[in-house]
Amino acid sequence: MSHIDLNLLNALDVLLEERSVTRAALRLGLSTSAMSRTLSRLREALGDPILAPAGRALVPTPHAEAIAEQVRTLRLGAQTVLRPPKPIDPESMEREFTIRANDAFTQLYAAKLSAAVSALAPGVRLRFVAKPDKDIGPLRDGAVDLEIGVISENGGELRAQTLYRDTYVGVARPGHPILDAPVTPERLCAWGHVVFARRRGRSGPADEALALHGLSRRVVVIVPGFPAVIAAVSASDLLGLAPRSACLALAGYDMVLFDLPIPMPEIVVSQIWHPRMDADAGHRWLRGLVFEAFRDGP
């Protein structure tokens, strides 16, 4: 089959319907000679005359009559498969989308996004799952439809759209002595710290910036997420560093935010997906809704 042009399927269906090379050529926008050559190719491919002269007309051969209905079904099926997907109607869509995000994002925005989805697409359900790492496998295999966060260094194949930009801030309990005077790198390192780290022994941008001053933090506690950083800070004399948005998500804790005396990289928070979902109408609708939710920032 590798030598057969499947475009001939459409020509065969028209020829069997019209039973005329001239009329088939007009329907397909071809010259009569080009249509004749197409008929010759079809005869060679099928090993059958397909249309035989009968006076001044052409009539289908028994084989052509036998396959005519199948040809029509195949042509219509191919057109359906190759046609761009129809626009979706959110009100009638029945679907579940899985979104992977960290705890702070889920606590702050899950309700907001779910309300927006319910208002437009009552049959759509959002399922938020934890983000324990930056493994892109779940996006590749379809276990996750959309991820919210910072794109992974090995995520070159992925698509991403920036939602908002975040910054790190210092976090302390109200009345902490560090708040009594301007915060310097030296004063920042004078207190114990609670740190979020996914992997053992990994330093972050704050440690690299402090190292330029010949300083290092005294890490007392390592926790698996920024909510745990904030919870520990609010109940002790430990200090923490966290994205400002994470602090907003957990505003019920007693804490004070302060600017850091060291340069820290900006956090670019994006929605991330696999390219195989680019053209999926429902997925595109979801991405548009998420983007609109963050048009004015977090």
* pLDDT value at residue 85: 67
pLDDT interval class at 201 (50, 70, 90): low
Q: Is the confidence at residue 95, as pLDDT, over 50?
A: yes
pLDDT interval class at 1 (50, 70, 90): very low
* 3-state DSSP assignment of residue 229: helix
- Between the alpha carbon of residue 70 and those of residues 5, 16, 19, 200, the distances in Å are 17, 12, 17, 63
* 3-state DSSP assignment of residue 284: helix
Close Cβ partners of 221 (under 8 Å, ≥ 6 residues apart): 192, 193, 194, 195, 232, 238
* Amino acid making up residue 75: R
Which tokens belong to 134?
């930056």
- Compute the average pLDDT of residues 61-90: 84
- Compute the average pLDDT of residues 189-206: 83
Q: Is the confidence at residue 88, as pLDDT, over 50?
A: yes
**Least confidently predicted of 49-58, 70-79, 203-212:** 70-79
The strand pair at 57-60 and 51-54 is best described as: antiparallel
Q: Is the confidence at residue 297, as pLDDT, over 70?
A: no
pLDDT tens-place string over residues 16-59: 999 999 999 999 999 999 999 999 999 988 899 999 998 888 99
pLDDT interval class at 111 (50, 70, 90): confident
Q: Is the confidence at residue 226, as pLDDT, over 50?
A: yes
Q: Is the confidence at residue 3, as pLDDT, over 50?
A: yes
Which tokens belong to 200?
């053992």
* pLDDT value at residue 157: 83
* Amino acid making up residue 283: H
